[in-house]
């Protein structure tokens, strides 16, 4: 089976081989493989190991090393096959069990982990902690966060310094939106294990969720320095590039991720995001189903699906997707704003009020959310509530000040409206809309000379 080039073996490989003490012929195979890796001929090294196993299929140590090599490079199916055979051949559980479980997890075989790796009091504490960590990650994959927490608590009681259990704990914290404690834990882990690629990648993910783009980029970059082909760090940096509107860099990173895992749903999601931001709605609509099918509960994919539907004039489907996203994450500001904008476009003003009033009460969102709610209240005639909402955002927002002032003029309160338009014009002297509305207001007041001067100022 062909797959991407494999990077150098971990530094512990040679030491591990010495500890395993394989036969002389297998040692020569391993020596040749390591030599080829040193020369950068990684596919040749893999071929040497596979040929060695054809000659000596019962060599569990060599099979274990090949499986571990596959695992380190995300070829999960091959890793499971080789590690399972090594385990069946008598490879010590302390070495083979955890990587085998990780191979299951990479394939999302969460229920199989729970059935094939049972917790047992008969296991010695360190090995039992490994099993509990695997089970916690499987529980997390099944969205059973409480069971994951319980398993990790038990694992860390058995082996407080277990790095894998601590990393898994960080994953649970991130999945539970407990970002601050996750970052604290990961800061400690990268200090304690500065060469831990997974620690840096997770720190980048946690920082990104905290909207700390600087630390996120630093962490993802460090992960890629340690492991240039790291898939998750690559898509992390791609996501950051999309977030800051750097579509060229995002495209390069997404292509790099696609070359590693062409069928990964996260790659499909990022590709759809790039197409959407580039205005290629047809491409976005083509790519988003792969993300949705592969990650049915991935809220960003659900929201993007809704945004694409809204942009392609499918309001009912868009509404369903945005509501689904909010049923999973009720406080997701992007989904809230998108749904409110959709309902405003559809002139469903009462629905906007019902959606956004509880949001504003909970302190979610900023001036944009309050502005949308004020617009809805204005449309249904709740002028006092609209004024109350807009007063909080109009001071620094010329657009909101213009909208508020135009509403006053439409109601006949021309003096108040004109004063607001003058303030908006002062906030943004280059804007023409407040100048135009000022001209209209002056004409309504029959101040023709001033209106003419104002109109001339527009030229």
For CA atoms 275, 280, 283, 289, give the dihedral sign.
Answer: positive
The residue assigned the tokens 């299951």 is: 104
Dig out the tokens for 46 from the structure: 């893999």
Contact 308, 272 (CB under 8 A): yes
Q: How many other C-beta atoms are found inside a 10 Å radius of the C-beta of residue 143?
A: 11
Contact 439, 447 (CB under 8 A): no
Sequence-distant (6+) residues with CB within 8 A of 120 are: 128, 131
Within 73-178, residue ranges assigned H as helices are 76-88, 93-106, 110-116, 125-141, 145-158, 163-175
8 DSSP assignment: P
Q: What is the pLDDT along the chain (459 residues), one digit of tens a residue?
A: 434 433 333 434 443 443 344 444 445 777 787 776 667 666 777 888 888 888 888 888 888 888 887 887 778 999 999 999 999 999 998 899 999 999 999 999 999 999 999 988 788 999 999 999 999 999 999 989 999 999 999 999 999 999 999 999 999 999 998 999 999 999 999 999 999 999 999 999 999 999 999 999 999 999 999 988 899 999 999 999 999 999 999 999 999 999 988 999 999 999 999 999 999 999 999 999 999 999 898 999 999 999 999 999 999 999 999 999 999 888 888 999 999 999 999 999 999 999 998 988 887 767 778 888 888 888 888 878 877 777 655 555 556 666 666 666 666 667 766 776 676 666 666 666 656 665 666 666 666 566 566 556 655
Rounded alpha-carbon distances, angstroms, from residue 39 to 13, 18, 36, 111? 16, 21, 5, 41
pLDDT at 390: 73
Whole-number Å distance between alpha carbons of 401 and 383: 15
pLDDT at 141: 93
The yes/no answer on whether domain 1-107 falls in CATH 1.25.40.10 is yes
Contact 60, 89 (CB under 8 A): yes
The residue assigned the tokens 């994959």 is: 141
Dig out the tokens for 149 from the structure: 């927490």
pLDDT at 11: 37
pLDDT at 4: 41
Size of the chain, expressed as the number of residues it contains: 459
Contact 220, 251 (CB under 8 A): no
Contact 33, 48 (CB under 8 A): yes
| CA neighbours closer than 13 Å in the CB half-sphere of residue 72 | 20
> Residue ranges of the domains in the chain?
1-107
- Name the nearest CA neighbour of 195 among 353, 430, 10: 10
């Amino acid at each position: 089976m062909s797959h991407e080039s494999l990077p150098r073996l971990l530094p512990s490989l040679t030491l591990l081989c010495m500890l395993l003490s394989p036969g002389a012929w297998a040692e020569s195979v391993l020596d040749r493989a390591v030599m080829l890796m040193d020369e950068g001929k990684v596919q040749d090294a893999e071929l040497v190991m596979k040929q060695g196993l054809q000659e000596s299929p019962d060599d569990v140590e060599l099979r274990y090393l090949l499986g571990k090599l596959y695992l380190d490079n995300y070829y999960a199916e091959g890793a499971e096959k080789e590690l399972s055979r090594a385990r069946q051949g008598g490879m010590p559980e302390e070495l083979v069990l955890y990587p085998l479980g990780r191979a299951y997890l990479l394939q999302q075989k969460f229920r199989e982990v729970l059935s094939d790796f049972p917790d047992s009091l008969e296991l010695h504490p360190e090995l039992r902690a490994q099993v509990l960590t695997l089970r916690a990650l499987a529980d997390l994959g099944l969205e059973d966060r409480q069971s994951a927490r319980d398993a990790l608590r038990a694992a860390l009681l058995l082996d407080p310094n277990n790095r894998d259990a601590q990393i898994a704990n960080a994953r649970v914290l991130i999945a539970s939106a407990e970002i601050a404690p996750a970052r604290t834990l990961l800061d400690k882990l990268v200090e304690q294990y500065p060469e831990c690629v997974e620690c840096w990648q997770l720190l980048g993910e946690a920082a990104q969720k905290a909207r700390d783009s600087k630390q996120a980029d630093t962490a993802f970059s460090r992960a890629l320095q340690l492991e240039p082909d790291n898939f998750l760090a690559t898509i992390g940096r791609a996501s950051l590039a999309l977030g800051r509107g750097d579509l060229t860099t995002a495209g390069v990173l997404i292509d790099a991720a696609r070359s590693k895992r062409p069928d990964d749903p996260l790659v499909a999601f990022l590709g759809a995001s790039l197409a959407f931001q580039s205005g290629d709605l047809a491409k976005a609509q083509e790519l988003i189903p792969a993300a949705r099918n592969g990650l049915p509960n991935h809220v960003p994919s659900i929201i993007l699906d809704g945004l694409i539907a809204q942009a392609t004039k499918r309001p009912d489907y868009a509404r369903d997707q945005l509501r689904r996203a909010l049923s999973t994450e009720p406080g997701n500001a992007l989904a809230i704003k998108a749904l409110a904008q959709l309902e405003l476009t559809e002139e469903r003003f009462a629905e906007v009020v019902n959606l956004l009033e509880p949001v504003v009460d909970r302190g979610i969102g900023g001036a944009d959310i309050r502005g949308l709610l004020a617009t809805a209240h204005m449309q249904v005639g709740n002028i006092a509530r609209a004024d109350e909402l807009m007063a909080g955002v109009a001071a620094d927002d010329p657009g909101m000040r213009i909208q508020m002032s135009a509403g006053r003029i439409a109601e006949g309160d021309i003096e108040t409206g004109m004063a607001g338009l003058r303030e908006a014009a002062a906030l943004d002297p280059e804007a023409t809309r407040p100048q135009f509305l000022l001209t209209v207001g002056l004409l309504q007041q029959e101040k023709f000379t001033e209106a003419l001067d104002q109109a001339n100022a527009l030229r």
